[in-house]
Structure formats: structure tokens, C-alpha cells
Amino acid sequence: MGISQAILESTNKRTGLLLVCAAASLWGLIWVPMRYVESLGIDGLWVVVSFQTLPFIALFPFCKKSLMAHRADWGIYLAAGGAMGIGFVLYSLGLVVASVTKTTVLFYLTPIWSTLLGSIYLAEKLNAGRWIAISMGLVGCILIMQVNVFDMQFVASDLLGLLSGISWSVGSIIIGKYPKANIMNITLFQYGVGGVLAAIAALVLAVPIPDVTVLISGLPVAFVASVCIFLPSVLIIFLVNQYVSPGLVGILMLSEVIVAALSSALFIGEYLDYWQWVGFVAIIATGVYIGVVSHKTMAD
């Protein structure tokens, strides 16, 4: 029975990791339906609102009972889901209005921010190897953003990818601090907070509200993409993250970067120059190294 149980657990773990890889690869294509909806005449911020609000509406009936039963955890849901919601809004907006590749790669500086925040709030120790990896990742960030270190000039829209990773890391740290918190409820708050904040930003910035006819024409694509495809992928990654090393999950999620870079080059001719590719490799290497270290730490 012990051997059979071990095989079953190994199979479940392997299946979970394969699902994470597939789900993250789908994330690398989320920019395609988002830009299609924008091309119909809907401003980028309202595209983000629709991709946040539709999953919230679809998920709410399944979370309502649990929310009422766990009112004491609403603060955790709001903190973790809110931080991730802000991160996802910034990331989604970056995919629509900025470079797909640069936004995705800069988002994957997340392991750096998670490592630094983990050392502060979770009392995780940083060795020399991690400091070297963090330094390498930051150099990669400078190269990707093409920052002029002498007068700090860079493309402002690149900050969307950078800030989205920082915000997502904050949410991840909160989840790590409260591992028993309901993932479905956190995801619900993520979409809810994200949708509300994106709508407020659109109204404050006086972004024109889409024409009803145009909005209706874009909703089917937005619904299929955000609810039927990407919402399940978010839940898969969150759920697998509860019983598999976050380091391994983080490494496999780097498949999103590869898919985003290849698809944006293929469909919209988006390319990086030589030094940006050096930065790309540096950031990927940083994510892999930190992922391996965190996996070994959990194994020990």
C-alpha cells in the first residue's frame, strides 16, 4: 500500500507540474485576444476591465457560500487578492499598450521581489548565491528596459511590467504567510479588486466608455478567453502551488515568457535587440536559479 501510495503521489505531482506548464504557456498568449478586443475600438483599460469582471461574475456563485463561512479571512482575501489584482491589471494593460515581450519578461522579475520580501516578512535567509542571482536579474531589468543609467531615461510603459511583478510578489508573500486561506476566494478578490480599480482608473483618466454595440461585439471573445481559458489556468496554478514546491512551479511558469516572446515575434513582429536578449537570458536564469534554490530548501 505504501509503494502504491508513493506512485500515486508521484503521478499526481507530475501531472500537476505538466498542468502548470500548459497553463503558464496559455498565459503567454493572453495578449492575443486582449489586443483583438482592443482592435474593435475598445480602449485598453476597458479591455482590462472586461477581462477582470467577467471571471469575477463567473466565479462568484461558486465562492458565495465559502465567503459567508469564512468572514474572518476576508482581510487576507482582500490583501492577497487585492495585491495580485493590482499586479494583474498592470500586467494586462502592459500587454495591450506596451511591448508584449518586455512586459512579460519584466513581470518575471517576480522571484527577485518575492525573495527580498520573503527575507523581510517570512524570515527567509539569503545566501551569496541568491544575492548574485538578484544582482543578475536587476542587470537584466536595466538591459530589457534600455535604461540610461546616467540620466535614467526609459520607456514609461515598461514600468507596467515591472510594477506588476512587484505587486504580484506581495500577494504571493501573503498567501505564503497564510497557506490555509481559500484559493478560490483569493482568486475571486483578485478579479474583483482588479476590475474595480481598472474601471476607476478609466473613469478618472476620462477614457471614453466603449459604444454599446462595439462592447457587445467584443464580449464573446473576452468571455471565452478570460473565463473559459484563462480562469481555469489561474486556478490550476494556484491549486498546484499548494502541494508542489513554489520553486518548481516558478520555473515551469517561465514557459509563459518563451511563448509570449515567440508569439509576439511571429504575429506582430516584436523583436529584442542584442543587449535586450542578454537581459532576457539574465532574468530567465535568475528565475530558474531562485526556483531551484527554493525547491531544494523545501526538500530539506
Residue 242 one-letter amino acid: Q
Per 3-state DSSP, what percentage of the chain is helix, strand, and coil (rounded to 5)? 80, 0, 20
Distance in angstroms (rounded) separating the CA atoms of residues 114 and 168 = 9
Per-residue pLDDT, 187:
92
Distance in angstroms (rounded) separating the CA atoms of residues 275 and 17 = 32
Distance in angstroms (rounded) separating the CA atoms of residues 298 and 277 = 32
Task: Give the rounded distance of the alpha carbon of 222 from its chain centre.
Answer: 18
Query: Mind listing the pLDDT tens digit of every residue in the chain (300 residues)?
Result: 444 444 334 446 677 778 888 888 888 899 999 999 999 999 999 999 999 999 999 999 999 999 998 889 999 999 999 998 999 999 999 888 888 878 888 887 777 776 777 676 656 666 777 777 777 777 777 777 666 655 555 667 778 888 888 888 888 778 777 878 888 999 999 999 999 999 999 999 888 999 999 989 999 999 999 999 999 988 888 777 666 666 567 667 777 888 888 888 888 887 777 777 787 777 777 766 766 665 555 555
Domain residues for 287?
2-299
pTM summary value: 0.80
Structural domain count of the chain? 1
